[in-house]
Structure 1
């Protein structure tokens, strides 16, 4: 059964500004009223964001020339194609990213990458909330108010309370709000570009990074962009009808993210030439006209709340994939409290921008191989899922050894190991330089190694067993009522529940 009562009609199920009742359970076909253009503008509304302006400035601060920064931005954002690819399973499966992931890992083994993702999503939530607090503090100081400890705590509580609202309401509200905000943010970008570009003098930028330095910058672009969003993709595309052409789903997600990301990061790189202080959000206005401080900082707040809404929504349904017996909106409450507490710690004790760079460097170690495993599994299954088995509490074609597919676990660990063997995180906490990075002057290709090794290992280990599973399902030998072990029928399934857990 599902946790909570499902809406009676498609209109109620998808109505904005009502609390969404769907969590990780299957979305019925008659509730799939989203359109690809809405998916495009949802991603665009999130990515038209001051954070990506700062990412563009940060990579230049690593010592890149402007030309090297442009190359890193263009190459790095090609990987929004990965977000497009991991938005294709949602319409077919009708469930979230870590509901789909159960096909590869099994229900119980899937808790491992789900845990990694929960930490990752909460980390991104904290990033956004900390920046929001910094922006409010900057506004207070500009207004002549010096925020003390008590006022900072009040700002954190207020930021957390505001951030909670849209993710609590759910998918339809997020889509409606971000679709509307996208146009406003595009106008703001145009104003910023008009203010900064006439003052960019590339002759003043005398620096050139090594290959190793460039690959480090590329990791930031890839992890903050296309690869870093793959674990969110199907959470939102699952409301598209199953009949949606796959190329339209792919383009909506990939271009919705890539276009604003490229434009903002290029503008950030150009603005760094005008003012190196732009590597922090509160320093961004220094690259623009003095009068632009107030409108920019005030508009940065809804941008930051918007992008955080995606992370908070996804962390909620990921808690359900972990097996927490709560409804989606209850999971959002839990995540909001956790993110708020961690935000307070970072604000009062952290080294935020250094911690952020380290966070972005390390998360690719698990995201890369997980992405590859889910994609390879989908392709090996001929792009079809047994939907009932994805939400079955036990049994079904994805149950295998007590809900664990050891092949997928082994492939994930192999991919993570490979990624960590080519990681340069020597300036972060924890400080670490891998053997391959040390031998290549500090280069970092962790994201690529994780994808290649994780995906290849899973294909080699699982191709035969997946073929047997497909044959058994096609022959009617298994389904939502039968448990399977390594592609063979094991035992009749006990009557159980399928749903949000």
Structure 2
């Protein structure tokens, strides 16, 4: 990977804020973190990403792999490959945080322009709100299942109460911000790992590990790899630097990459393999609340539902923090902590609708299956830009509204056309090759259901950006101070 030779980046255009403890509300938004507020080592990313990814969602994705007709061992092979590919991207998009001290979609402005960067930031925000809402729906359903276990009828009033409690709990960690999230997720990782280890011990005797089955077709391999890659590391890629920006500028890039990539990849691989094992024993494994628990002993149902609730709260915490930063990158003139209330209000409204209307939850899932198609093209442009400029960024040029000057990345009215064109063409390529329950692209249909959406979108976007922008980006890098 390319390594920047830059030392500490220029100071933030805004004044430094007092050092925050884990129990204070973080006031910083997307402005660059001053050197004096950077601390810790890359190892902090291990706990963050492990705590975020050790969740029932991950188990369900493993179960879905088997639903494509794969035997256990073929499922394991594709689970490992898809997660290696996906989390390598998360590791790479974490490298810019220590160098610049700012969030992923602030750095993204180098490739798209300060104004052009608002579009991918908006798409990211919309996607994350959808994921948050989906997580909150499952939290509420798990809470209602717990009440039914206790013999409490789930009337409309009870449902409203559970939704209100879920929203209140969900607000706490994202509102406090980075420092508390990093601290709590580290402990969550250990607690979740212990609980899932017990679950694996209980499931193992019932799973069918012996059958190898027929080798999967190329079409099946493409569908599984697209799902595993997009639902795993790629879905976290646009948050990488949100959580590495508080690391010192001199943090070793290899360690940052390894900690971010392995922190998410290892629990994803292990829990998806657990999900695949569960799916060999029951056909209901893809339903984490009403289906998967049937394979567990009755005494473990309540601990499992509690685990589901807390682990989903952990996932939503990571999503909601980055979602707030993304909405700030769109240009919303409010404090980061205020955006938490915006997201929470939307999620609560969507949850109310979904809990009282099952069809809406299906629509939400369909929406998420398509909106992720922009991620591969965006990541390809973002990382191609980073490689071309060899990790050199003029941090002050990310914030023309703060500095009062247009800066290196202004281009045409604050937009770099090459970046936006590359993403649009990459998205078009992804749509042509997608095979989903909502839409089948014409090229995918012609190829018998082959799904190359993730890879085609990234390849086209990265290639187009390299052809159109390589000279300009290298010229910018030459003008960027290295010390």
Name the TM-score class by shorter chain: over 0.9
Aligned to 1:7: 17
Deviation at 1:107, TM superposition (A): 0.7
1:415 to 422, 426, 436: 426
Cα distance between partner residues in 1 of 2:388 and 2:439: 36
Deviation at 1:390, TM superposition (A): 1.2
Aligned to 1:447: 454
Large movers: runs of 4+ above 6 Å: 1-5, 204-208
Cα distance between partner residues in 2 of 1:19 and 1:195: 41
1:132 to 135, 139, 143: 139
Cα distance between partner residues in 1 of 2:349 and 2:316: 16
Structure 1 stretch displaced more, 254-263 or 132-141: 132-141
Deviation at 1:273, TM superposition (A): 1.3
Aligned to 1:278: 285
Per the alignment, do residues 268 and 220 of structure 1 end up closer, same or farther by CA in structure 2, a change over 3 Å counting? same
How many residue pairs were aligned? 468
1:387 matched to 2:387? The reply is: no
The alignment partner of 1:276 has SS state of coil
Cα distance between partner residues in 1 of 2:229 and 2:361: 17
Aligned to 1:371: 379
Deviation at 1:472, TM superposition (A): 3.8
Per the alignment, do residues 144 and 457 of structure 1 end up closer, same or farther by CA in structure 2, a change over 3 Å counting? same
1:312 to 313, 320, 323: 320
Any idea what the Cα deviations from partners look like across 1:291-332, whole Å, max 9, x if unmatched? 110111112211111111010001101110000000110111
1:35 matched to 2:70? The reply is: no
Aligned to 2:113: 106
Question: Which fold has the larger relative contact order, with Cα–Cα distance below 8 Å and residues 6 or more apart in sequence?
Answer: 2
Per the alignment, do residues 94 and 474 of structure 1 end up closer, same or farther by CA in structure 2, a change over 3 Å counting? closer
The alignment partner of 2:285 has SS state of helix
1:180 matched to 2:191? The reply is: no
Cα distance between partner residues in 2 of 1:250 and 1:51: 24
Contact 1:232 1:314 in 2 (8 A): yes
Contact 2:392 2:482 in 1 (8 A): no
Contact 1:4 1:21 in 2 (8 A): no
Deviation at 1:202, TM superposition (A): 4.2
CA RMSD of aligned residues (A): 2.1
Once the two structures are superposed, the pairs formed by residues 70-109 of structure 1 within 5 Å of their partners are: 70-78=76-84, 79-109=86-116
After TM superposition, the score normalised by the length of structure 2 is: 0.92
Deviation at 1:232, TM superposition (A): 0.9
After TM superposition, the score normalised by the length of structure 1 is: 0.89
Aligned to 2:411: 400
Any idea what the Cα deviations from partners look like across 1:116-162, whole Å, max 9, x if unmatched? 10111101101110110110111111222221222212211211111
